[in-house]
């Protein structure tokens, strides 16, 4: 796949491509360039060696910067560690960074690359389902602050994305389900057939075409709206209430994908009540989620959810941009005045 942002780049989806990272990188980066492979403490021990030897074999000089795995380590102290590693290793603007891991690794390594020397290039090798279908494509990078998630960041497109579905064989099941929540989202907003394929079950054994379709949908939205001022917001389907639920759960007990899943059901229920969404849509989404063992509702008080929604950093001004489905496979933006959110949510009480 080729993605046509201001600076176009390739996304390769192929079993085993991680082990050919050097060859693939050689098409994009200058021979003899130096690189630091940023990876976390779970992914590094499994895959860093293969990536490093492939890069070395292709004539790149590589070293590894590991950091502790987990969202709680998506912190600026680790960014500073990366800058130090880049500097010790003598990276210049003709060198590059490799992000090898899940979304946490990609977001942080991408942000470090975006800001070091005012920006050096980077290669994404996403290893979680969520990173493969979502975070590695589109150029959003960033890091959490004590004040909130992803509060500091930059748009910085990778120079190449290598998606190796084989890496999913070592991904813990809970994280696989988490990524699947986003895959269901892509089906909801853009592709009824994709939704049906996931609903039919057994996706783990034929995940490749699903990854391909999800990435292609993300590509389409990112190309139309690289800086996220319009259509790209449709990718936030399920996220308005999803983020609120994550916050109410203090980012524990509920994964991001689970929260988004519940958010999709809630939003569709409200859409149905408002006569904007085809009746039965919320039920269809709920059925797929339960098929994969994901929750479809949350006991949180709708009033608290509404309050937590009001302070979402992505909503601007007096209006709040809701993403609704017309039916499975078609979505639209529905801006409403903040003051009307309570009434819109009445279907939930």
Q: Which of 107, 216, 246, 272 binds ligand NAD (CB under 6 A)?
A: 107
Contact 294, 257 (CB under 8 A): yes
Rounded to a whole number of angstroms, the distance between the first and last alpha carbons of the chain is 44
Contact 331, 188 (CB under 8 A): yes
Smallest gap from residue 110 Cβ to ligand NAD (A): 7
Mark 5-44 with x for binding to ligand NAD (rule: CB under 6 A) and - for no binding.
-----------------------------------x-xx-
According to the binding rule CB under 6 A, does residue 131 interact with ligand NAD?
yes
According to the binding rule CB under 6 A, does residue 150 interact with ligand NAD?
yes
Give the bridge partners for 154, in sequence order.
Answer: 141
According to the binding rule CB under 6 A, does residue 170 interact with ligand NAD?
yes
Nearest to ligand NAD of 170, 310 (CB atom): 170
According to the binding rule CB under 6 A, does residue 226 interact with ligand NAD?
no
| Of 71, 68, 21, the residue nearest 42 (C-alpha) | 68
Q: Which of 1, 19, 50, 71 binds ligand NAD (CB under 6 A)?
A: 71
Mark 39-68 with x for binding to ligand NAD (rule: CB under 6 A) and - for no binding.
-x-xx--x----------------------
According to the binding rule CB under 6 A, does residue 103 interact with ligand NAD?
yes
The interaxial angle of helices 207-224 and 192-199, nearest 10 deg, is 150
CA 288, 314, 246, 337 torsion: positive or negative? negative
Contact 66, 98 (CB under 8 A): no
Of 10-18, 70-78, 267-275, 317-325: span binding ligand NAD (CB under 6 A):
70-78
Contact residues for 313 (Cβ-Cβ < 8 A; gap 6+): 148, 151
Q: Which of 95, 178, 246, 298 binds ligand NAD (CB under 6 A)?
A: 178
According to the binding rule CB under 6 A, does residue 243 interact with ligand NAD?
no
| Of 182, 186, 230, 163, the residue nearest 1 (C-alpha) | 163
Of 134-142, 201-209, 220-228, 245-253: span binding ligand NAD (CB under 6 A):
134-142
According to the binding rule CB under 6 A, does residue 191 interact with ligand NAD?
no
Q: How many Cα neighbours within 13 Å face the side chain of 267?
A: 34
According to the binding rule CB under 6 A, does residue 181 interact with ligand NAD?
no
Nearest to ligand NAD of 46, 333 (CB atom): 46
Contact 182, 294 (CB under 8 A): no
* Count, residues near ligand NAD per rule CB under 6 A: 28
Contact 274, 221 (CB under 8 A): no
According to the binding rule CB under 6 A, does residue 105 interact with ligand NAD?
yes
According to the binding rule CB under 6 A, does residue 157 interact with ligand NAD?
no
Contact residues for 342 (Cβ-Cβ < 8 A; gap 6+): 303, 306
Nearest to ligand NAD of 147, 349 (CB atom): 147
Nearest to ligand NAD of 33, 294 (CB atom): 294
Q: Which of 124, 135, 321, 331 binds ligand NAD (CB under 6 A)?
A: 135
Exposed/middle/buried for residue 31 (C-beta within 10 Å: 0-12, 13-18, 19+): exposed
Binding site for ligand NAD (CB under 6 A): 40, 42-43, 46, 69-71, 74, 101-105, 107, 127-128, 130-131, 134-135, 138, 140, 150, 167, 170-171, 175, 178
């Amino acid at each position: 796949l080729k993605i046509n942002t201001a600076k176009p780049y390739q996304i390769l989806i192929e079993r085993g491509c991680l082990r050919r990272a050097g060859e693939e990188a050689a098409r994009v980066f200058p021979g003899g360039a130096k690189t630091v492979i940023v990876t976390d403490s779970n992914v590094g021990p499994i895959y860093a060696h293969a990536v490093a030897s492939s890069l070395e074999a292709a004539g790149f000089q590589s070293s590894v910067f590991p950091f502790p795995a987990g969202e709680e380590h998506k912190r600026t102290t680790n960014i500073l560690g990366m800058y130090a590693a880049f500097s010790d290793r003598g990276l210049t603007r003709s060198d590059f960074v490799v992000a090898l891991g899940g979304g946490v690794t990609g977001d942080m390594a991408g942000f470090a690359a975006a800001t070091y020397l005012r920006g050096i290039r980077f290669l994404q090798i996403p290893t979680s389902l969520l990173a493969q279908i979502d975070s590695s494509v589109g150029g959003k990078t960033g890091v959490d602050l004590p004040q909130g998630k992803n509060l500091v960041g930059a748009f910085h497109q990778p120079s190449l994305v290598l998606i190796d579905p084989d890496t999913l064989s070592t991904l813990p099941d809970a994280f696989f389900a988490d990524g699947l929540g986003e895959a269901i989202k892509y089906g909801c907003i853009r592709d009824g057939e994709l939704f049906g394929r996931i609903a039919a079950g057994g996706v783990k054994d034929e995940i490749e075409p699903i990854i391909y379709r999800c990435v292609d949908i993300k590509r389409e939205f990112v190309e139309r709206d690289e800086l996220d001022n319009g259509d790209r917001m449709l990718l936030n389907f399920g996220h308005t209430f999803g983020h609120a639920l994550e916050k109410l759960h203090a980012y524990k007990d509920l994964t991001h994908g689970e929260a988004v899943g519940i958010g999709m059901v809630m939003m569709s229920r409200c859409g149905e009540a408002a006569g904007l969404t085809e009746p039965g849509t919320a039920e269809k989404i709920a059925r797929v989620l339960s098929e994969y063992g994901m929750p479809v509702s949350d006991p949180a008080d709708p009033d608290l959810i509404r309050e937590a929604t009001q302070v979402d950093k992505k909503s601007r001004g007096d209006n709040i941009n809701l993403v609704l489905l017309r039916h499975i496979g078609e979505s639209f933006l529905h801006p409403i005045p903040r003051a009307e959110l309570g009434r819109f949510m009445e279907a939930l009480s």
